[in-house]
Amino acid sequence: MTLRIPRRGMAQALALIIILMIDRLVSPQFFNLHLQDGRLFGSVIDVLNRGTPVALLSLGMVLVIATGGIDLSVGAVMAIAGATAASLADTHSLPVVIASALAVGLACGLWNGILVAVLRIQPIVATLILMVAGRGIAQLITEGRIVTFTSPDLVWMGNGAVLGLPTPVVIALGMLLVTAAVVRGTALGLLIEATGGNARASELSGVGTRAMILSVYVWCGLCAALAGVIAAADIMGADANNAGLWLELDAILAVVIGGTSLFGGRFSLVLAVAGALIIQAMNTGILLSGYPPELNLLVKAVVVLAVLLAQSPRLGDLSRFTARWRRTK
Amino acid sequence: MSDPSAPPATRPSLLDIRGLSKSFGTLKALDGVDFTLGEGEIHALLGENGAGKSTLIKVVTGVFARDAGTVRLAGREIAPRSAKDAVDAGIATVYQEVNLLPNLSVAQNLFLGRQPTRFGVVREGEMKRRARALLFDYGLDIDVGAPLSSYSVAVQHITAIARAVDLSARVLILDEPTASLDRHEVEILFSVMRKLAERGIGIVFVSHFLDQVYEICDRVTVLRNGRLIGARDIADLPRIDLIRMMLGRELAETTHERAASQPDTAREVCVSFKGFGKQGYVAPFDLELRRGEVVGLAGLLGSGRTETARLVFGAERADSGEAKIGGKAIRLNSPRDGAGFGFGYCPEERKTEGIVADLTVRENIVLALQARRGLHRPLSRREQDEIAMRYIRMLDIRPPDPERPIGLLSGGNQQKALLARWLATSPKLLVLDEPTRGIDVGAHAEIIRLVRELCEQGLALLVISSELDEIVTYSNRVVVLRDRAHVEELKGDAVEVSSILAAIAADTAPAHEAAS
């Protein structure tokens, strides 16, 4: 494992370095850091900080995708959890606020998990239900308004700092470690990869595939809820319509850039987070360059295309074919 | 019968295949096969799973490229490179799963891609009129404007045949067309087949229903393990000889001595089943599996062998009877239950139900053991390496690299790794479904040796095989199945190829009664 990751992650590491170099070209101060009020500032810190919600989402998404599924509802779950946290923030203590938001995420994950694992609905359709309904639920919680709050505890979740690093970054890092411990410290990782690789074979080997699938959707819901709390804390309010909008697509993209196949099977948590950072490094770079942000979408599309082409088995065949052709010539 | 594959003198030959070969990797799927189809002949192509029937069809219809051999259609050599080439040449195929578009109308399906048009606009009326006329020939008078999916499978099949024949087919290949039809629908299909044969079309009929073969076919060609066993006129071929051709004897590489037979009662019962069965799946059966004993399951394809194995392991839930271990009834509702009782199951479909192709040999081997230990007791990487290496050495899995994705191994080595997966759980009972199918001769002999060794070590084994010699070699008892029911149990000296054959071919009167 420790030996494998560097070799597997080469492409992603290279991509991140190239994009950071380009960022450095368009913005000479990109790597500058300075400490102010006990918190580090700088473009690199921005990339980490802004990348946090997608990184958190991708931690759950990568497990879901590893089982051969997909979760389209994470953006909507972010909105629900954010709305829950925002409406409780000024009247309850921070632990209660966070526990409630996470409980909401857990319930959402359980709903998705039951639809997929127990009722065997196709994941893309099953999670589409909550994707659509979720924003409605969030609006019911906020009663159609943008709920703002002033609770310094919750604001700290979005804007505070721990040992100089922004709190969201520390939370995401902690979540990565917890997820890694849960997945790789137990047999969960192997059994998820087996389930995603061949569910029938795994079932016949005695793997409880249903429990595996259920648990990854629950975890995905929890990660999305945490991302939602951070996003709400960041803007000191909950916007049911726009919180986490389209972020499910960024999370899926991060997982794919991280080399996990949408067909399921092998996955890497670290590389999925790296994928999220690659996406954010691109976003930040374009903002810094002064080009219109609309360009962002185009650049993103080109990167996706490049990643997918690099993973395409057809292209692999083609390169082998041309290599053979050159040899015979 | 000096040259069994020569065509009968009365019919001019239409499709003439000589020396056809096709390999997938090291596995010879077809090995110098000859096949001759006469004009107006209905010719059965028979063989167990993996015998090479579908490969033969796919090579002839251009789905696979051939390695060697010639295919002549009416004397002219053809080499189709796609299914469309084959259709253009005059060879049409109708598969068991009808290859049409269920949401379109019958007429649209019949004329898809060649609709009658005027100024580029499809002439619906004209198309319907022609479709009606076409199907009327086949004895069907239906509303051709209704979607295909609103009709029975039989009508869908006939539509597919009508389309195929209308595309100027001279040879029609029907791959298991009757598998999902009821008796009445089979009659309709057969009358269509007879009509087409009268018009001089040669029909290749693939089926595993021997009654139907005897009812409709003129000739039969039998394949086994990719080789031609023979071609005969069905009229001079007793049923038992046909079954012998299909299951017969060939196992030159393995020793033929029988496992030493001891009195069965001396052995400890591992698990027993009473009245165990599932409606529409396999009829209730009684079965005792004892430690240190191999029980073979013999029968034709579709006789209920795999179904029995799946019930015994818990992969399928029984709806009657009970299973007992040590006199106590057990709950056997899922593979997890089965694995929990120390059962192991190597399914016949290695690729779809056995291996997890992307994972390494090591991960595949530890999978069942890890699943049984549960999430919270993970095997450390060192333990995994040890287990994997132990079985790689013990079973001689090649290449001996535990980190290689298992999908890259040959069939025989995948099979060994699957055996290792269960052996690592120290099982009490192993259920092996066709453990030697699709693997090369060397690995074949090794697997048989392994089955015997495991048995000597005190395991209970339930083994399915289509190769009767193989079953006879290692089985202490053989259960014979027919029409999804256990019909006979052979013990001791009665375990012989001839007695198994006799039991399989025995009185099929009930099936005939149902037919008439």
SS (H, E, C) B90-153: CEEEECCCCCCCCCCEHHHHHCCCCCCEECCEECHHHHHHHHHHHHHCCCCCCCCCCEHHHCCH
Q: Which residues of A63-89 are buried (b: 16+ CB within 10 A; e: fewer)?
A: bbbbbbbbbbbbbbbbbbbbbbbbbbb
**Which tokens belong to A262?**
């949408």
CA-wise closest residue to A230 among A150, A163, A167, A161: A167
CA-wise closest residue to B474 among B499, B501, B500, B447: B447
Is the distance from CB of A244 to CB of A37 less than 8 angstroms? no
The pair phi, psi for residue B184, each rounded to 5°, is -65, -40
The Cα–Cα gap between A137 and A108 comes to: 11
Compute the mean pLDDT over every residue in chain A, rounded to the nearest whole number.
89
The Cα–Cα gap between B508 and B482 comes to: 9
Beta strands B460-464 and B429-433 are parallel
Is the distance from CB of B487 to CB of B303 less than 8 angstroms? no
Q: For chain B, positions 338-357, list CB contacts with chain A under 8 A.
A: 338-340, 345, 347, 352-357
Task: Please classify residue B37 by burial: count the beta carbons closer than 10 Å to its beta carbon, then call 0-12 exposed, 13-18 middle and 19+ buried.
Answer: buried
Those residues with Cβ within 8 angstroms of residue A80's Cβ, 6 or more apart along the chain or in another chain: A104, A105, A108, A134, A137, A138, A141, A225, A228
Domain boundaries, chain B: 13-247
The pair phi, psi for residue B17, each rounded to 5°, is -110, 130
Contact B358 A266 (CB under 8 A): yes
The distance of A136 to chain B (nearest Cα, Å) reads 36
pLDDT of residue B264: 53
CA-wise closest residue to B500 among B306, B300, B311: B300
The distance of B267 to chain A (nearest Cα, Å) reads 28
Helix (H, G, I), strand (E, B), or coil: what is residue B242? helix
Is B315 an interface residue toward A (CB < 8 Å)? Answer: yes
The one-letter code for the residue type at B513 is: E
The distance of B351 to chain A (nearest Cα, Å) reads 9
Average pLDDT over residues B390-395: 92
Helix (H, G, I), strand (E, B), or coil: what is residue B122? strand
CA-wise closest residue to B57 among B231, B299, B221, B237: B221
Interface residues from chain A to B (CB-CB < 8 Å): 1, 185-188, 190-191, 193-194, 197-198, 200-208, 265-266
Kindly tell me the sign of the dihedral angle through the C-alpha atoms of A127, A133, A134, A135.
positive
* Residue among A191, A194, A201 minimizing CB distance to B353: A201
- Tokens 């010719």 — which residue? B43
Average pLDDT over residues B28-49: 89
Q: Which of A205, A219, A260 to mutate to test the interface with B (most CBs of B within 10 A)?
A: A205
The Cα–Cα gap between B403 and B390 comes to: 14
pLDDT of residue B255: 45
**Which tokens belong to B350?**
């290695």
Other CB atoms within a 10 A radius of the CB of residue B121 amount to 8
Contact A206 B377 (CB under 8 A): no
DSSP A114: I
Q: Please state which of the ranges B195-199, B233-237, B395-399 shows the lowest mean pLDDT.
A: B395-399
**Which tokens belong to B300?**
């034709």
* Residue among A188, A200, A206 minimizing CB distance to B339: A206
The distance of A297 to chain B (nearest Cα, Å) reads 33
Other CB atoms within a 10 A radius of the CB of residue B53 amount to 23
- B305 to A83, A249, B278, B331: CA distances (angstroms): 58, 48, 13, 22
> In which band, very low, low, confident or very high, does the pLDDT at B461 lie, cut at 50, 70 and 90?
very high
- B336 to B281, B287, B290, B347: CA distances (angstroms): 21, 21, 22, 15
Average pLDDT over residues B403-426: 90
Q: How many CA atoms lie within 13 A of B504 on its CB side?
A: 29
The Cα–Cα gap between B78 and B88 comes to: 11
Contact A205 B379 (CB under 8 A): no
The Cα–Cα gap between A34 and A46 comes to: 12
The distance of A276 to chain B (nearest Cα, Å) reads 25
Is the distance from CB of B212 to CB of B38 less than 8 angstroms? no
* Residue among A198, A205, A208 minimizing CB distance to B357: A198
Percentage of chain A exceeding pLDDT 70: 92
pLDDT tens per residue, range B345-385? 999 888 889 999 999 999 999 999 999 998 889 999 999 99
The Cα–Cα gap between B366 and A207 comes to: 12
What pTM, to 2 d.p., does this model score?
0.77
* Residue A318 pLDDT > 90: no
The Cα–Cα gap between B287 and B262 comes to: 18
Contacts of B347 in chain A (CB under 8 A): 204
Sheet holding B227-233, edge to edge: B91-94, B171-175, B202-206, B42-46, B219-224, B227-233
* Residue A135 pLDDT > 90: yes
The one-letter code for the residue type at A14 is: L
* Fold exhibited by the domain B13-247: Rossmann fold (3.40.50)
- A268 to A94, A165, A179, A275, B351: CA distances (angstroms): 32, 25, 11, 11, 25
Is the distance from CB of A255 to CB of A272 less than 8 angstroms? yes
Q: Looking at chain A, how many residues does it have?
A: 329
Percentage of chain B exceeding pLDDT 90: 39
Domain boundaries, chain A: 36-290, 296-329
* Residue A4 pLDDT > 50: no
Contact A204 B358 (CB under 8 A): no
**Which tokens belong to B37?**
């189809």
The one-letter code for the residue type at B81 is: R
Is the distance from CB of A51 to CB of A280 less than 8 angstroms? yes
**Which tokens belong to B139?**
């004895």
Nearest-Å Rg of the Cα atoms of chain B is 25
pLDDT tens per residue, range A39-81? 889 999 999 999 999 999 999 999 999 999 999 999 999 999 9
Per the model's pLDDT, the better-predicted residue between A169 and B135 turns out to be: A169
